[in-house]
Chains A and B, each alone.
Chain A
Amino acid sequence: MASMRDIKRQITSVESTKKITRAMKMVAAAKLRKSQERAENAKPFFDKTKETLADITARIDDDLHPLLEKRDVKKVGYVFITGDRGLCGAYNSRVIKEVEKGLKETEKETEKETALITIGKKGRDYFKNKAEIISEYIEIEDSPGFSTATNISNELVELYTEGILDEVHLVYTEFNSVVSQKVERLQLLPIEPPESAEVNDSEESYLYDPSAEEVLSAVLPQYLKNVIFGALIQSKASEFASRMTAMDSATDNAEDMIDKLKLSYNRARQAAITQELSEIVGGAEALE
């Protein structure tokens, strides 16, 4: 049995861990509230974006704009969003797993090349020596600004139009609620009309002013930006929710552990007293 001093030391250490996990949980909860609000406020914007895109793409040909055109695929890019830090449950590893699955599918079944664009340190570190990373974004703010999304989408459009990538997928974590987040994979480029959105089936066709090409050149990159922005804020909200839940159960576990340690501490104390007593009695008997 461990000595009383050892157990005491262990209790102190678990207690200080508990303090840390509890503080992290509180911080995550506060941040979550903000990013959850942002994610919810942005929802009408994305629904509308999808709706308009569906309206537009339903009425035009694929070959009107390079971002819509399907071409022979040689290299597939994966953009994925992870956090910069750990201690957030399965949040990072779920995204990484999905990316690995995607990479395997692309490489094995169709013998295409793959490349990565990483957002977040955890994902970058994991794939550092495993795959080709074209570009990386780290230290994304807690409430990502639109400019971050703009930078990422501009780079993607560049990579795509220059022919470095022929297809781009996005992997991110969708935020449903505090207890439910889901990893999603969707195709960014070439832009595919969203399936879920309903198309307004008015007979009239759209007027494009000044021309369809020019309008699409303005609208399509905007759509891409919007999707990436949405993915960024949803992922952030998911990260905080995940961290909060993980730290909550870590705090609970620490409490359980402290209870158990306290029990064995008391046992050890009792045992020491009993031993002392029997030593005294034994000593007294020896004197007689």
Chain B
Amino acid sequence: MSTVKLSIITPEKVVYDGEASMVTVRTIDGDRGFLAEHQPLVTGLDIGQIKIKNNDQERILASSTGYIEVRPEEISILVDTAEYSDEIDVDRAKSAKERAEKRLSKDNSSINSKRAEIALKKAMNRLKVSKGKNFE
């Protein structure tokens, strides 16, 4: 299977820089997979999972918002955060989830509840990825 150059970059570091035969991401329009030789495309990314397939190996990352630029020979993913499933701090995600839930249950102002909702989404996404669950 032909491969494509893939780079996943966050402000903290370059998370992935290498070949991949397929990459699946959660775009603003739903989950999508990209193979080599894909038509040039740009789209936004939502909080979700990134799945990298390189021949037989498969790695899953929890990612937050950002965007993806696809060119036939190269795919670049730029996101705020991206963590491999085995690197996720489960305790931190759990406490973040609890905090967000608590805030959602009592705070009614729209800005705060929106923020808490995003935090909750991120935390749940991290927990889901850390348990090794695939896309639903």
Contacts and interface: CB of A to CB of B under 8 A. Distances in A.
B86 interface: no
Contacts of A206: 40-42
A207 B41 CA distance: 4
Interface of B: 7, 9-14, 27-29, 39-45, 65-67, 69, 71, 76, 78, 80-81
A52 to B, nearest CB: 5
Given A48-B78, A207-B42, A215-B43, 20 more contacts: A41-B11, A44-B9, A45-B78, A52-B78, A55-B42, A146-B80, A204-B40, A207-B40, A207-B41, A209-B41, A209-B43, A210-B29, A210-B43, A215-B28, A215-B67, A217-B44, A218-B43, A218-B45, A219-B44, A226-B78
Instruction: Tell me the interface secondary structure of chain B in the complex.
Output: strand
Contact of B39 (A45, A56, A207, A215): A207
B32 to A, nearest CB: 8
Given A48-B9, A52-B78, A202-B71, A208 B41 contact: yes
Interface of A: 38, 41-42, 44-45, 48-49, 52, 55-56, 146, 200, 202, 204-210, 214-215, 217-219, 222, 225-226, 229-230
Given A52-B42, A215-B42, A209 B27 contact: yes
Given A48-B7, A205-B40, A222 B76 contact: no
Given A48-B7, A209-B27, A209-B29, A218 B71 contact: no
A42 B12 contact: yes
Nearest to B67: A219
Nearest to A219: B67
A215 B69 contact: no
A38 B10 CA distance: 11
A204 B71 CA distance: 10
A25 to B, nearest CB: 28
Closest 8 CB pairs of A and B: A218-B44, A207-B41, A42-B11, A210-B29, A206-B40, A219-B67, A45-B9, A52-B69
Contact of B42 (A44, A200, A208): A208
Nearest to A146: B80
Contacts of B14: 44
Contacts of B42: 52, 55-56, 206-208, 215, 219
A139 to B, nearest CB: 19
A4 B27 CA distance: 77
21 contacts: A38-B12, A42-B12, A44-B9, A45-B10, A45-B11, A48-B9, A146-B81, A207-B41, A207-B42, A208-B42, A208-B43, A209-B27, A209-B29, A210-B28, A214-B28, A215-B42, A217-B44, A218-B45, A219-B44, A222-B78, A226-B78
Contacts of B41: 206-209
B44 to A, nearest CB: 2
A236 B71 CA distance: 35
Contact of B44 (A44, A49, A214): A214
Contacts of A215: 28, 42-44, 67
A222 B65 contact: yes
A237 to B, nearest CB: 14
A30 to B, nearest CB: 20
A120 B29 CA distance: 39
A92 B72 CA distance: 46
Nearest to B69: A52
A10 B40 CA distance: 72
Contacts of B11: 41-42, 45, 146, 226, 229-230
Contacts of B67: 52, 215, 218-219, 222
A52 B45 CA distance: 15
Instruction: Specify which of B7, B40, B41 lies most central, judged by the most chain A CB atoms within 10 Å of its CB.
Output: B40
